[in-house]
């Protein structure tokens, strides 16, 4: 069954987004950035989903109000990825920030979450399994890799297991990252294991608290 995972990711590329194009914000009384805990009581991590797998609409958290909004290009249009849609759910860990002076990009920590497409604004309990260190237009822009623990049948607890049991997944993610902004804008430096990923995440939480 696991061998179908890579094919499943490709199928998700053609899935529909959970919100219609007429909507441009997730309205919620919760401040996704400040009101949601980054870590759970069972040693997992909370990730707020900004972009469901299969969507090509670029949504992100507004750091001023903590709401998730469709990135606006100009007064009349919103950003759409001019490539294949996101191959996995994409979001951020609340209560994190890593300044450029500390090796980050000044934003909350980004995460790819493997599993079926989630609703935009959903809070997924995930296990961190790795990290992609990369440059975006010569600036650090690392991405954590995680598995949605609320989805049955997905038993992965390390980068080694992900690569071994779901062949092709990392190739899909890396190829997508190299091309989704046009060739040449992104440089992948390394793919590291869960220990490096957790260290990166903890440093970003410490920076947020301070």
CATH number of residue 122's parent domain: 3.90.80.10
Overall average pLDDT of the 186-200 stretch: 97
| SS percent in the chain: helix, strand, coil, step 5 | 25, 30, 50
Give the DSSP letter string of 15-54.
PPPSS-TT--EE--SS-TTTTS-SB-TTS-EEEEEEE-TT
Taking alpha carbons only, the member of 51, 5, 14 closest to residue 171 is 5
Interacting residues of 129 by C-beta distance below 8 A, sequence separation 6+:
145, 146, 147, 156, 157, 158, 159, 161, 162, 193, 194, 197
Supply the pLDDT for residue 140. Answer: 93
Q: Give the domain extent around 54.
A: 2-209
Q: Which residue has the tokens 């190299």?
A: 178
Pick the residue with more confidence: 153 or 198? Answer: 198
Overall average pLDDT of the 131-141 stretch: 94
Supply the pLDDT for residue 153. Answer: 66
Given a cut of 80, whether residue 15 has pLDDT beyond it is no
Phi and psi at residue 2, in whole multiples of 5°?
-65, -30
Task: Quote the number of domains for the chain.
Answer: 1
Supply the pLDDT for residue 151. Answer: 84
| Rounded Cα gap, residues 115 and 188, in angstroms | 23
Q: pLDDT above 90 covers what percent of the chain?
A: 73
Six token digits for residue 36: 């949601």
Q: Is residue 66 within 8 Å of 112, Cβ to Cβ?
A: no
pLDDT band at 87 (very low <50, low <70, confident <90, very high): very high
| Rounded Cα gap, residues 153 and 163, in angstroms | 16
Count, residues in the chain: 210
| Rounded Cα gap, residues 185 and 54, in angstroms | 22
Six token digits for residue 201: 């995440």
pLDDT band at 154 (very low <50, low <70, confident <90, very high): confident
Supply the pLDDT for residue 102. Answer: 78
């Amino acid at each position: 069954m696991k061998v179908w995972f890579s094919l499943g990711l490709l199928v998700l590329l053609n899935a529909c987004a959970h919100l219609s194009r007429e909507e441009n914000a997730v309205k919620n009384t919760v401040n996704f950035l400040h009101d949601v805990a980054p870590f759970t009581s069972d040693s997992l991590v909370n990730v707020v989903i900004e972009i469901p797998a299969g969507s090509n609409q670029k949504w992100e958290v507004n750091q001023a109000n903590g709401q998730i909004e469709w990135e606006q290009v100009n007064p009349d249009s919103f950003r759409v990825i001019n490539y294949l849609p996101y191959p996995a759910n994409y979001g951020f860990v609340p209560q994190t920030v890593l300044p450029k002076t500390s090796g980050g990009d000044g934003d909350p920590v980004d995460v790819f979450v493997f599993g079926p497409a989630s609703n935009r604004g959903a809070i997924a309990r995930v296990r961190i399994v790795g990290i992609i260190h990369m440059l975006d237009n010569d600036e650090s822009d690392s991405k954590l890799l995680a598995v949605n623990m609320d989805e049955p049948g997905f038993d992965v607890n390390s980068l080694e297991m992900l690569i071994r049991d779901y062949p092709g997944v990392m190739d899909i993610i890396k190829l997508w990252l190299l091309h989704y902004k046009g060739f040449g804008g992104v440089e992948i430096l390394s793919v590291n294991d869960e220990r490096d990923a957790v260290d990166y995440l903890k440093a970003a939480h410490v920076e947020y608290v301070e």
